[in-house]
């Protein structure tokens, strides 16, 4: 029960890594609010966990819209009276060579992956200051190494890493910790959508597995466990860090 009594907000918590975090954080005692654009998925996750006696609420929202984010944070505070943990997990990952990428696709990536992270932090900071809480942003191995065919996505994840480091320094006087986790290839629907977007799903999957010295993709639960560590008091002296959970991908 490492998060007992804590209130956690997880964006993009209706599937994949985000859903695994919702399940693990609530199992560890947190009251969790998850948000996402797909209401049916989010409602389903929340209803299943409430049936198990956990305090989990889904709020439909779009992190790229400031009004939606402001309402989301205000709703968490109205419901729970405090906020301890924020996980910026919401993201999209369309693949395209830079030369042929549509500007609208680029803008959508920046809006969801970067502006959404910024807006959620902006509106959550006052509440986190009261609890000396923490923020966890989702980076990626592609924020550390090059990613041919996914340069736009990689830019957003490099942004997440540096944003985490910069915000950690900015908020350290308030006792707010800010870290990032950087997953390697993780077996989720999100990843398989990225495989499909490359035009060679099977070939891309085999290539990605081959980049991991451990010889496999990670699991959502493995990523959630890393996030749990950073959210817990076990990581009380860790801030400004980007934790690579990548099966050795970036060690080569």
Contact between residue 198 and residue 149 where contact means Cβ atoms under 8 Å apart: yes
Q: Distance between CA 9 and CA 127 in Å, rounded?
A: 12
Q: How many CB atoms lie within 10 A of CB 3?
A: 22
Where does residue 197 fall: left (phi above 0), alpha (psi -120 to 50 degrees), or beta otherwise? alpha
Query: Closest Cα partner for 157 from 88, 231, 220, 79?
Result: 88
Catalytic choice (58, 142, 153, 163) = 153
Token pair for residue 29?
């005692």
Reported residue count of the chain is 252
Q: For residues 73 and 80, is the Cβ–Cβ distance under 8 A?
A: no
Of 54, 89, 60, nearest in space to 75 by CA: 60
Known catalytic residue at 153: yes
Contact 136, 86 (CB under 8 A): yes
User: Which residues are catalytically annotated?
Assistant: 153
């Amino acid at each position: 029960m490492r998060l007992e009594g804590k209130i956690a907000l997880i964006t993009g918590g209706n599937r994949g890594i985000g859903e695994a975090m919702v399940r693990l954080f609530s199992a560890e005692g947190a009251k969790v609010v998850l948000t996402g654009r797909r209401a049916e998925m989010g409602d389903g996750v929340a209803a299943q966990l409430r049936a198990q006696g956990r305090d989990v609420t889904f709020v439909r929202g779009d992190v790229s819209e400031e009004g939606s984010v402001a309402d989301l944070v205000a709703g968490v505070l109205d419901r729970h009276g405090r906020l301890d943990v924020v996980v910026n997990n919401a993201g999209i990952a369309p693949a395209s060579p830079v030369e042929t990428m549509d500007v609208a696709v680029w803008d959508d990536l920046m809006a969801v992956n970067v502006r959404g992270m910024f807006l959620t932090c902006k509106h959550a900071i006052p509440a986190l200051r009261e609890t000396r809480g923490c923020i966890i942003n989702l980076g990626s191995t592609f924020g550390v190494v090059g990613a041919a065919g996914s340069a736009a996505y990689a830019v957003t994840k490099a942004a997440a890493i540096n944003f985490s480091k910069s915000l950690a320094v900015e908020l350290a006087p308030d006792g707010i910790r800010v870290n990032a986790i950087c997953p390697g290839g993780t077996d989720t629907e999100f990843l398989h959508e990225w495989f499909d977007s490359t035009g060679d799903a099977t070939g891309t999957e085999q290539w990605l597995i081959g980049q991991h010295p451990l010889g496999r993709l990670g699991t959502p639960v493995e990523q959630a466990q890393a996030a749990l560590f950073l959210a817990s008091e076990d990581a009380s002296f860790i801030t400004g860090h980007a934790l690579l959970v990548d099966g050795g991908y970036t060690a080569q």
